[in-house]
């Protein structure tokens, strides 16, 4: 048995890079110091914030909600609201929603559940079915990612949030970094900064990633030690996503060469610094306002409205706007 490097009690975690081992008490102190250092380093919050925490009901987002709620007790000017986006994935989201409700009720946190069906008229399961029937080339994760990001920003703003906190950990960030390199999506790499915004658009809510430098295994242990770890339920659409293959390969590299993920993160931060100097060229000018829904967009029609148009799930007056714009220029 390995003992804690600080007090000699049985260890629950070993940092393979530093060689330090931590018992439960000292792991939670290590975790707290690491997250607070990340928040300070990237200047994520001011002394007065309404923090909307994006919570899926999974271990990482429940850990983030728990952590920020407890941290907010030390900052009188902070208000916390939990936001769950219910995509409408049968056998998945209905289960994770129960874990979400359990934790927000235990903490006594204000919350909001916003569904695809409420805002778009259809669940993700229905959207995927319609897309397949129409022969559209998009994977389920494409619809989910676009519509989720759209609602997170829109609903966080409607709630009066000054900042949107997401539970992306170091593993999530470097996986997405590798995916975007493979897809040659340099504009999307800019979104992987620890703080996104404020962009030059009044409807964009600044986003932060407090777990940016925290390994997934560390957030997992935090959730277990705080009785947050939910029953594991895998999204049925996950098998269509290249992320899972990249995740496995990066974990194998980290196991053989400890520190690989941190090296990739340093590489990402260097790339972001370089790309940010050419931001206007990369994202083709300033952030626009979608002519259909009025939300922030890189184009005259946002991706969410374009998907709704192609799926045939928008009103006739909205279709006319899209067709008018498409007749003038290609998105």
Pick out the residues of the known binding site for Zn(2+): 4, 7, 23, 26, 290, 293, 302, 305
Tokens linked to 47: 């002394």
DSSP-derived secondary structure for 97-123: HHHHHHHHHHHT-EEEEEEHHHHHSS-
- Beta-ladder partners of 297: 288
CB contact at 8 A, 16 and 258: yes
Tokens linked to 211: 């777990």
CA distance 21 to 15: 6
Q: What is the dihedral of CA 260, 172, 283, 290, to 10 degrees?
A: 180
* Structure-token match 């129960």, residue found: 98
CA distance 59 to 29: 19
Numbered residues of the known binding site: 4, 7, 23, 26, 290, 293, 302, 305
- At 169 the three-state DSSP class reads coil
Distances (CA, A) of 16 to 21, 24, 185, 255: 9, 17, 32, 9
Tokens linked to 289: 């306002």
CB contact at 8 A, 295 and 301: no
CA distance 63 to 100: 11
């Amino acid at each position: 048995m390995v003992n804690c490097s600080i007090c000699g009690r049985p260890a629950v975690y070993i940092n393979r890079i530093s060689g330090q081992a931590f018992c439960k008490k000292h792991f939670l102190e290590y975790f707290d110091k690491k997250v607070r250092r990340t928040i300070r380093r990237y200047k994520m919050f001011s002394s007065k914030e309404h923090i909307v925490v994006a919570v899926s009901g999974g271990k990482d987002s429940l850990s983030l909600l728990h952590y920020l709620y407890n941290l907010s007790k030390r900052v009188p000017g902070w208000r916390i609201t939990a936001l769950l986006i219910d995509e409408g994935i049968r056998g998945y989201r209905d289960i994770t929603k129960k874990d979400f409700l359990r934790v927000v009720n235990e903490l006594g946190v204000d919350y909001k559940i916003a569904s695809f069906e409420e805002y778009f008229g259809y669940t993700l399961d229905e959207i995927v079915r319609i897309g397949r029937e129409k022969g559209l080339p998009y994977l389920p994760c494409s619809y989910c990612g676009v519509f989720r990001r759209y609602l997170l920003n829109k609903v966080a703003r409607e709630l009066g949030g000054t900042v949107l906190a997401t539970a992306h950990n170091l593993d999530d960030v470097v996986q997405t970094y590798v995916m975007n390199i493979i897809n040659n999506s340099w504009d999307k790499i800019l979104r992987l900064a620890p703080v996104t915004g404020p962009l030059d658009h009044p409807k964009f809510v600044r986003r932060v990633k407090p777990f940016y430098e925290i390994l997934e295994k560390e957030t997992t242990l935090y959730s277990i030690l705080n009785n947050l770890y939910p029953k594991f339920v895998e999204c049925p659409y996950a098998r269509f996503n290249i992320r899972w293959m990249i995740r496995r390969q990066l974990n194998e590299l980290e196991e053989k060469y400890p520190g690989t993920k941190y090296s990739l993160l340093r590489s990402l931060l260097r790339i972001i610094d370089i790309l940010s100097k050419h931001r206007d060229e990369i994202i083709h000018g300033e952030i626009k306002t979608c002519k259909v829904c009025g939300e922030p967009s890189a184009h005259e029609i946002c991706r969410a409205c374009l998907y709704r148009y192609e799926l045939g799930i928008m009103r006739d007056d909205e279709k006319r706007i899209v067709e008018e714009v498409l007749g003038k220029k290609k998105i």
